[in-house]
């Protein structure tokens, strides 16, 4: 899991007040995006003189660096687009050069997701690279359209990229990765981020109401900043075919004890998610940030006790309403149901008690941990 965020602006210069608003909002979005990855940060400024800035700092600290602020200040001059990224490393060492965004040929982009056919893509594209995401942008750079590019993918993805024309931003996603946008006519600026609340909270902080839209899956959104006006962005949409991976939330004996996905509910205002004894608190009122953090910490500790790992290796993706775990041993990222499936494949049995309230493990649980 990573976070992508950024903006695209009209060539018309900002007033001093407009720039201050944009600067503050982008900073808030960048800081919030750290929750999706804190192994490294990066931002690319796109215009007459494109440049990429990378750091091993988490985003909350990266925003105070000279490099980040240089990128934002360039909006005063010849920069039209900012591509931001916060990384949770899945492939490739945690080093500065492996931070996003990447430049591959005439394409600069940032990726949220994982690539599952790395070896195949390396052969097909004739490219060896330390980070799987670079293969995504190699495919995009090599092809004239998105449909031809995605034929090389076996990947989860949400993408932000620029190719050749520094005034055109491309955004797209498949079904497993979220991406949201908000066009602000008064600023003639498009804001985007992985999660809706990142944009919403940033504007709310400064008393500005905006309409936030979740992008459709399997659709390439083309934003030409020269076409931004006082009403709309005049976006162009190009649908493409892509078969996303299907992740099972309910497996084996859970299927006949639960009513599919109807047993949990989530929206961006509050959490009401129950999953055996790991989620034994059913919240009926909105959670503030401190309450959610407390709940999340408790669950991480319980997950560590039951399934191993460290608290920092577990994270809850609110947009997908799912727990994930990163294994330092295998470098895999798996959902909780996938972990349970692997344990069952190795002879561990899971069941629920008579009240369907507690996750019970057979006696051989301890020997399999």
Q: What is the CATH number of the domain that holds 165?
A: 3.60.20.10
pLDDT at residue number 350: 55
| In a domain? residue 247 | no
C-alpha span between 233 and 213 (Å, rounded) = 13
Do residues 264 and 321 lie in contact, with contact meaning Cβ atoms separated by under 8 Å? yes
- In terms of domains, do 220 and 120 share one? yes
Same domain, 192 and 261: no
Query: What does the alpha-carbon distance between residue 26 and residue 81 come to, in Å, rounded to a whole number?
Result: 12
What residue numbers bound the domain in which 26 lies?
3-239
What is the residue-level pLDDT of the chain in tens, covering all 369 positions?
A: 789 999 999 999 999 999 999 999 999 999 999 989 888 999 999 998 899 999 999 999 999 999 999 999 999 988 999 999 999 877 777 888 889 999 999 999 999 998 888 889 989 888 888 888 999 999 999 999 999 999 988 999 999 999 999 999 999 999 989 999 999 999 999 999 999 999 999 999 989 999 999 999 999 999 999 999 999 999 999 999 999 887 643 333 322 322 333 333 333 333 333 333 333 333 344 556 666 677 777 788 778 777 777 777 788 776 566 788 887 667 678 888 788 777 777 766 555 444 443 344 444 444 444
Q: Do 295 and 287 form a contact (C-beta atoms < 8 A)?
A: yes
Q: Count of domains in the chain?
A: 2
Domain assignment of residue 134, yes or no: yes
79 and 176 belong to one structural domain: yes
Task: Clarify whether residues 180 and 277 are in a common domain.
Answer: no
Q: Which of 239, 263, 288 is the last residue of a domain?
A: 239
| Domain shared by 77 and 218, yes or no | yes
Domain boundary among 239, 262, 282: 239
- Residues 184, 329 within the same domain: no
Q: How far is CA 20 from CA 26, 77, 83, 212, 260, in A?
A: 10, 15, 19, 21, 47
Reading the block at residue 72, the tokens are: 């934002």
Determine contact, residues 296/304, Cβ cutoff 8 Å. no
Alpha helices, DSSP H, located in 190-256:
196-205
Q: Are residues 224 and 257 in the same domain?
A: no
Contacts of 18 (CB under 8 A, 6+ apart): 186, 187
Residue 102: phi and psi, rounded to 5, are: -120, 150
HSE-CB of 119 using CA atoms within 13 angstroms: 0
Rg (CA), the chain: 21
The residue count of the chain comes to 369
At 348 the pLDDT is: 65
Instruction: Kindly state whether residues 224 and 310 are assigned to the same domain.
Output: no
Give the whole-angstrom CA distance, residue 83 versus residue 18. Answer: 19
Beta-carbon contacts of 143 under 8 Å, excluding residues fewer than 6 positions away, are 149
Euclidean distance between CA atoms 57 and 77, whole angstroms: 26
| pLDDT of 266 | 35
The secondary element (H helix, E strand) that includes residue 315 is strand 314-317
Same domain membership, residue 164 and residue 139: yes
126 and 267 belong to one structural domain: no
């Amino acid at each position: 899991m990573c976070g992508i965020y950024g903006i695209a602006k009209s060539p018309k210069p900002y007033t001093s007040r407009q720039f201050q608003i944009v600067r503050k909002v982008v900073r808030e979005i960048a800081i919030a995006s750290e929750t999706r990855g804190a192994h490294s940060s990066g931002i690319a400024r796109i215009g007459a003189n494109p440049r990429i800035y990378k750091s091993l700092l988490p985003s909350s600290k990266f925003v105070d660096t000279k490099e980040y602020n240089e990128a934002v200040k360039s909006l005063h001059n010849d920069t039209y687009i900012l591509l931001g990224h916060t990384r949770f490393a899945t492939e490739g060492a945690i080093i500065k050069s492996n931070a996003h965004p990447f430049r591959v040929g005439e394409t600069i982009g940032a990726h949220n997701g994982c690539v599952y056919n790395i070896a195949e893509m390396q052969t097909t594209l004739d490219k060896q690279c330390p980070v799987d995401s670079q293969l995504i942008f190699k495919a995009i750079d090599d092809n004239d359209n998105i449909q031809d590019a995605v034929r090389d993918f076996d990947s989860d993805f949400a993408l932000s990229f620029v190719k050749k024309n520094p005034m055109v931003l491309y955004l797209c996603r498949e079904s497993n990765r979220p991406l949201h946008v908000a066009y602000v006519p008064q600023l003639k600026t498009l804001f985007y981020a992985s999660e809706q609340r990142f944009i919403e909270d940033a504007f709310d902080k400064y008393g500005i109401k905006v309409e936030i839209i979740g992008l459709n899956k399997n659709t390439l959104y083309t934003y030409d900043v020269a076409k931004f006006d006082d009403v709309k962005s005049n976006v162009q949409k190009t649908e493409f075919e892509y078969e996303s991976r299907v992740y099972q939330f309910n497996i084996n004996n859970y299927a006949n004890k639960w009513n599919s996905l109807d047993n949990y509910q989530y929206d961006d205002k509050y959490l009401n998610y129950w999953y055996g004894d790991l989620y034994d608190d059913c919240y009926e009122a909105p959670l503030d940030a401190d309450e959610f953090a407390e709940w999340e910490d408790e669950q991480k500790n319980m997950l560590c006790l039951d399934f191993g790992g460290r608290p920092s290796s577990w994270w809850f993706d609110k947009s997908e309403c799912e727990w994930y775990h990163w294994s330092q041993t295998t470098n895999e990222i798996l959902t909780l149901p996938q972990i349970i499936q692997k344990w069952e494949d190795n002879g561990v049995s899971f069941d629920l008690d008579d009240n369907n309230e507690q996750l019970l493990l057979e006696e051989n649980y301890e020997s399999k941990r």
